Amino acid sequence: MLLKERRPAQEVNSSSMADIAFLLLVFFLVTTTISLDKGISLILPAEGNELEVNKSNIVNILVNDQGQILIDDNPGKIRDIKALAIKRIKLNQNVIFSVLTTKRTKYKHYIQVLDQLKQAKATKISIANPNF
């Protein structure tokens, strides 16, 4: 009986695999786009620019934990802010809307209030620091 001689198995040349992987990596890095979060566009004043403001020019908007609001100590709804802000701006161009939240106010409610003010074209918005 004759035995067949086995050939040694041929190896796959892997010397260019690193080059191919590098080229694929560069290709995908160049062709993919990176999404950037825009965030809230607010123009903040420079530090130290504190001015005394007449109390009649300030509209206080308080937002509690449940998303209920008080506008100058009158209860209201978030969706009503836009109409009220438009009225106040027509009466007084120098009106400043001061938004105050509690420490547990949901971010969603805070953003909804800011959106309503932006839709009313309010340009002077004060973000008050909660002290309680």
Residue holding tokens 């420079």? 46
CB 111 within 8 A of CB 131: no
pLDDT on residue 24: 93
Q: Bridge partners of 76?
A: 69
CA dist., res. 122 & res. 4, Å (int): 91
- Residue 22: per-residue pLDDT: 92
| Domain positions in the chain | 55-127
Q: Residues near 101 by Cβ (< 8 Å), separated by ≥ 6?
A: 62, 63, 64, 109, 110, 130
Q: Would you say 102 and 68 are in contact if contact means Cβ atoms under 8 Å apart?
A: no
> Residue ranges of the chain with pLDDT lower than 70?
1-2, 37, 39-45, 49, 130-132
Q: Exposed, middle or buried, 19 (CB in 10 Å: 0-12/13-18/19+)? A: exposed
Q: What are phi and psi of 104, to 5 degrees?
A: -105, 10
pLDDT at 42: 65
Q: How far is the C-alpha of 51 from the C-alpha of 56, rounded, in Å? A: 15
pLDDT of residue 90: 92
- CATH fold for the domain made of 55-127: Nucleotidyltransferase; domain 5 (3.30.420)
